Structure 1
Amino acid sequence: MTPTTSAALAAARWRKSSRSGDEGACVEMAVVPGAIAVRDSKDPAGPALIFPPTVWTAFAAAPPRP
């Protein structure tokens, strides 16, 4: 996996879930070189979790938990 730099995170096109509503408690994701980044939308300058694309795909495809 390609290391993700802070410059790549700053330049990324962040997207919020369409199911996030207006409460403000949301996560955002962005495709960065070789990975998927996830961050707290209330703290865009804060840390991001970085996942390999295969892990993100498996997570996104998983059925919702009750």
Structure 2
Amino acid sequence: TNFHTFSSGNDWGYSEFLDGNYLNSRRNDLITDDRLRVYVGVVVDGGGGGGGGGGGKIDDG
């Protein structure tokens, strides 16, 4: 598993974040029948670095 830490800045993403050869490799089985399969893992760091959020509590009422 590869990890990437995003730094704050004025850009909207990274142009070379995911290699096209990796996407198109049949071995990785990510593109079939013109559909892209995406696996996502998200880790939220509550370290107080800004970016909004209210301490991780969900208010559904």
**TM-score of the superposed pair, with normalisation by structure 1:** 0.21
| Higher strand proportion | 1
| Higher helix proportion | 1
Higher relative contact order (CA 8 A, sep 6+): 1
- Greater C-alpha radius of gyration: 2
**TM-score of the superposed pair, with normalisation by structure 2:** 0.21
